[in-house]
């Protein structure tokens, strides 16, 4: 099957969406909705790390829409002139993820400062790490993690496998992990909300469709799908 699809043009028009990996499930659902509403149009997704997608776009990737997991990565694209006027379409909030049994007996953010606990945070370079620093700073806490993870999924994995007693991750991630981790909400998370921007790209081959897709994402039905996955309205 793989050879057959190679280079074969879609029968109708194809909309290409570059989206952060964390949007995979919700965007796939939105894509199906979009296709249903636009017969003959096929939506193809390129999910990956926002930063890698940004690299691809600045190197001339033929994309129509870019949905990033942080304003910073979107900025590298707009700075390069490949997109203008990004819009925030969802926000994401931190939660404390702990193993279901909660061996560290964690109930609030300040418990993470306990030096005996193995806490993992995201690296400061990635959005969830930046958010964690903001939240901890707001709470005036100093937490020494055992690891600064490359992305939020890596942090979550550590908790799922019981390697870490706690991690600061997004609500959406806690939600997608189901019953393998327990999420603990904490008030300071309001101080560290991460925004997801979306933009139509400057050289989009299907600019009109791209515009419609971003409208779908920001529309009420679109927001409903996203909020089911744990995102919050912008």
Partner 1 sequence: MKTISASPRGRVPWVLLVPALLGLAFLVLPLAGLLIRTPWPTMGTRLAQPEVRDALGLSLFTATLATLVCMVCGVPLAWLLARVSFPGLRLVRALVTVPLVLPPVVGGVALLLVLGRRGLVGRWLDSAFGITLPFTTAGVVLAEAFVAMPFLVISVEGALRAADLRYEEAAATLGASRWTVFRRVTLPLVAPGIVAGGILCWARALGEFGATITFAGNFPGRTQTMPLAVYLALETDPQAAIVLSVVLLAVSVAVLAGLRDRWIS
- The two structure tokens encoding residue 156: 């979550």
- Whole-angstrom distance, CA of residue 82 vs CA of residue 203: 7
Stretch that binds partner 1, among 50-58, 135-143, 188-196, 217-225 (CB under 8 A): 50-58
Q: Rounded to whole angstroms, how far apart are CA atoms 135 and 189?
A: 6
- CB 102, min distance to partner 1, A: 15
Q: Using the rule CB under 8 A, is 215 a contact of partner 1? A: no
Window 124-183: residues binding partner 1 (CB under 8 A):
125-126, 145-150, 153-154, 157-158, 160-163, 176-177, 180
Contacts of 220 (CB under 8 A, 6+ apart): none
Which of 41, 96, 109, 120 touches partner 1 by CB under 8 A?
A: 120
Residues 19-58, buried b or exposed e (16+ Cβ, 10 A)?
bbebbeebbeebbeebeeebeebebebebbbbbebbebbe
> Does 214 participate in binding partner 1 (rule CB under 8 A)?
no
Which residues lie near partner 1 (CB under 8 A)? Answer: 1-3, 5-7, 21-22, 24-25, 44-49, 51-52, 55-56, 59-62, 72-73, 76, 118, 120, 123, 125-126, 145-150, 153-154, 157-158, 160-163, 176-177, 180
């Amino acid at each position: 099957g793989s050879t057959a699809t190679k280079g074969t043009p879609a029968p109708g028009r194809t909309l290409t969406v570059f989206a952060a990996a964390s949007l995979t499930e919700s965007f796939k659902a939105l894509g199906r909705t979009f296709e249903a509403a636009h017969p003959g149009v096929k939506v193809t997704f390129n999910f990956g790390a926002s930063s890698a997608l940004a690299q691809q776009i600045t190197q001339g990737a033929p994309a129509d829409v870019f949905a990033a997991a942080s304003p910073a990565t979107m900025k590298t694209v707009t700075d390069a002139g490949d997109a203008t006027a990004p819009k925030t379409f969802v926000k994401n909030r931190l939660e404390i993820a702990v193993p279901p049994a909660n061996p560290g007996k964690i109930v609030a953010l300040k418990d993470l400062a306990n030096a005996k606990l193995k806490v993992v945070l995201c690296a400061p370079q990635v959005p969830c790490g930046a958010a964690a620093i903001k939240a901890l700073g707001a709470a005036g806490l100093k937490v020494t993690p055992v690891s600064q993870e490359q992305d939020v999924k890596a942090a979550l994995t550590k908790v799922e496998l019981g390697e870490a007693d706690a991690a600061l991750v997004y609500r959406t991630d806690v939600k997608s992990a189901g019953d393998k981790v327990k999420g603990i909400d904490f008030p300071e998370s309001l101080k560290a909300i991460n925004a997801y921007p979306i933009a139509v790209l400057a050289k989009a081959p299907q600019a009109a469709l791209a515009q419609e897709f971003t409208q779908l994402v920001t529309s009420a039905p679109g927001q409903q799908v996203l909020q089911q996955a744990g995102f919050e309205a912008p």
